[in-house]
Amino acid sequence: MKPYLKVDGMEILYTNPDKDIYHSLKQRLSSSRFDGIAGGLQEFSEDITTEWVSNCIQETGISSIVASGGVSMNIKINKAVMELPDVEDLFVGPSGGDESLSVGAAYALWHQLFPKQKIKPLQNTYLGPAYNKPDVRLIIAKELPSEHQVIENPSNDLVADLLADFKVVARAVGKMEYGARSLGNRSILARASDASMTRKINDKIKRRDFWMPFAPIILHERRKDYLINPKNLNSPYMTIGMDSTELAKSHLKAALHPADDTLRPQILEQKHNPELYDLLKAFEQKTGIGGLLNTSFNLHGEPICCSPEESIKTFLNSDLDALLLDGYLILRKQ
């Protein structure tokens, strides 16, 4: 891509006069493997972004960075930006696509109308639909075959027992997350200390390519045990890649990228999701591990489960061991 783009101060310029970029690239890359193309494009994207960010810092004197847009969803680029010596802080929101344009427009208008009034930061991203327990009970009675066991009002201690025993549990509880990542309320959770968990979930549950990695959810107070994060950046939305510690390579092996042992953490504070936090604490008490594998609750190629009906359908069409559906725990018949 170097013949096409270059950084000039605070601008990124298109420098190739060729109007037919599609056929030009097709001709140049037709003999290359897809993974080689992807790797080269990733390296180029990291180089051009870090050069541009460095120039912006030098030009403005501003070293605290906020990133949005489609490129901000590339966690490897964010990791490279985070590691720039001049960057003091980096915040990447939960969703940088078109769905957040309205939020930015609202912020911009508010600043114009009330320039002296500050807006309180968003405390969490659980802004989507939720379902009440009576409705969930009726849906379970209608949609779930009778051979599966249903436990009402299960404790987090019981769910933690399942996870400690290497069972894979889907969690569809409370309000759905806003943004590109599942952050515990529409998630598949599993113990990550056994590397074989990656293949189990990819083959039998997500049904996706073997090389696609997973990510961890980590207790805030255990972040230094697992993350190499000298600037102590927060990552509540799984939007920044980081290097892992030796302990993470033991405790969270199945939630690390298999190529380089990096991870894309969701760092969880109690105030952001008390019930999910309590589940992780119960799991920690049983295992000594302060994190879990966390991946979106869906089959490959399908949207993340939102409703109880979608959750039950996905449970039945996969090899999930259990489904925590608001006030009910559904256990698969053995």
Q: Sketch out the chain's domains with CATH numbers.
A: 5-113 (no CATH), 133-331 (3.90.870.20)
Q: pTM (2 decimals)?
A: 0.92
Contact criterion met (CB below 8 Å) for 181 and 237: yes
The answer for residues whose C-beta is within 8 angstroms of residue 127's C-beta and 6 or more apart is 175, 176, 177, 178
Q: What is the CA radius of gyration of the chain?
A: 22
What is the Cα–Cα distance from 253 to 195, expressed in whole angstroms?
Answer: 5
Parallel, antiparallel, or unpaired for β 262-263 and 215-219? Answer: unpaired
- For residue 16, give the DSSP letter: -
What is the Cα–Cα distance from 314 to 214, expressed in whole angstroms?
Answer: 19
The enclosing H or E element of 244 equals strand 242-244
Q: Helix 133-143 crosses helix 308-316 at what angle (to 10 degrees)?
A: 40
Contact criterion met (CB below 8 Å) for 171 and 182: no
The answer for residues whose C-beta is within 8 angstroms of residue 49's C-beta and 6 or more apart is 71, 77, 80, 81
pLDDT the model gives residue 27: 85
Between the CA atoms of 214, 217, 218 and 224, what dihedral angle is there, to the nearest 10 degrees? Answer: 40
Q: pLDDT by residue for the chain (334 residues), tens digit each?
A: 677 889 999 999 988 777 788 888 888 888 999 889 999 999 999 999 999 999 999 999 999 999 988 899 999 999 999 999 999 999 998 888 888 888 889 989 999 999 999 888 888 999 999 999 999 999 999 999 999 999 999 999 999 999 999 999 999 999 999 988 999 999 999 999 999 999 999 888 878 777 788 999 999 999 999 999 999 999 999 999 999 999 999 999 999 999 999 999 999 999 999 999 999 999 999 999 999 999 999 998 899 999 999 999 999 999 999 999 999 999 998 7
Residue 189: CB atoms within 10 Å: 27
Q: Give the number of C-alpha atoms closer than 13 A to the C-alpha of residue 185, restricted to the C-beta side.
A: 22
Largest CA distance in the chain: 66
What is the Cα–Cα distance from 283 to 289, expressed in whole angstroms?
Answer: 7
What is the Cα–Cα distance from 202 to 210, expressed in whole angstroms?
Answer: 6
pLDDT digits (tens, 9 = 90+) for 93-115: 888 888 888 888 998 999 999 99
Q: Looking at 114-227, list the stretches that DSSP marks H as alpha helix, in order from N- to C-terminal side.
A: 133-143, 156-164, 196-201, 223-226
Between the CA atoms of 106, 109, 110 and 112, what dihedral angle is there, to the nearest 10 degrees? Answer: 160
What is the Cα–Cα distance from 223 to 229, expressed in whole angstroms?
Answer: 9
